[in-house]
Structure 1
């Protein structure tokens, strides 16, 4: 197969999905991983695709200046810590002994899960930092997602896997951006993993500090109407509060002082 034909097939693959892994591409172009990575580099240089960890994503077509990009987990840990800790405390108050929970990767979810380390709960997570900490310091029942480790977002994911054989009463996840159209995320792997996990939970609970409102990211994850509860800090504007409640979302405001509303 010629290079031109490989490139065409790779671009065709992105028409119906936001991300394609190297393994996905191997199946359609019948080439070695080394050849595929060289093709990815050429397509990225030409602006036809975005090179991301583990594969390619559709090229961005432009957008407002407040569009955000994915930060590494270690960098996110340093941002908005006091608000995230307050949000984590409110989230922990929603958990009952015996609950089965899905906790997504992300710095706010990490702080939240630490509060459950020695609780009588079952936790499924795709977060490698969280799994390592709970292994060392916790006694809760832990189920870890299988697949490859993607170090930038800190998650474990297998592009070939379907939804996990784990069913939860609550799915806790963070957000990179929240707009009137719903939640958005930059990293395509996070989008695909979230879509699978949504099929295995009764209630979706979003942990998002107020900085996330008004931002935009590349890929939609879910509409606001899919969210049951959203926990944020007292920096939330009245307009964004109305946006959430109009979508039927229960809003909990976390305050670093310990006040509850």
Structure 2
């Protein structure tokens, strides 16, 4: 089958978007479309220009015999700010206020379109880092973890509060909850990670950071390295943070259960190492 250029561009774009951060040899496309490498290079040039102009991401070329092209999802700053603004608008409704200063976010976490964009925002920030695994704790952090993993093309591991027979042998640690100061337990299957991996940990909500700190301590049991921390919403808190460096998209500045008001502002994404 002889592919037309328009057909090659559509199929090539689809493949690249489905395989972020994967190095693809030019010979793969050349053999697939039965086209000369010079034609494939011209096609990729068109894709690269469009990706960058539309803020879809970068198309990086790696020279040499073992080289190829790699799609790196990366959003423009304006698009990230628009996503932050949309999140703040959605989370500012007074009926989301829960006892203890928490916000109801289950519907937002269950919105695939929003989670896909949130995942791409965090993937943009960690695009230049070597990330091997995304870690989160069950259950509300799972949608965010999978969204980030989708754009970084890495697996997800899920920390649980108790051991499951389906997990096999596990590693268990005790940690102190940052807000309640209670001793709690984290469990992770021994098969989840390999020694030496770089791990990005994420969750939907953070007050003092006890859960994040617990996951950080769990990494040490696997001889893995913390590569970053990504939080959807952080809460203003008078206590000292247990996690020093992290990225957040939204900050819960102040809540009034009596007045039923919620004050939100942009998180530290741009001030603490994001794009």
When normalised by structure 1's length, the TM-score is 0.36
Structure number with higher relative contact order (C-alpha < 8 Å, ≥ 6 residues apart): 1
When normalised by structure 2's length, the TM-score is 0.35
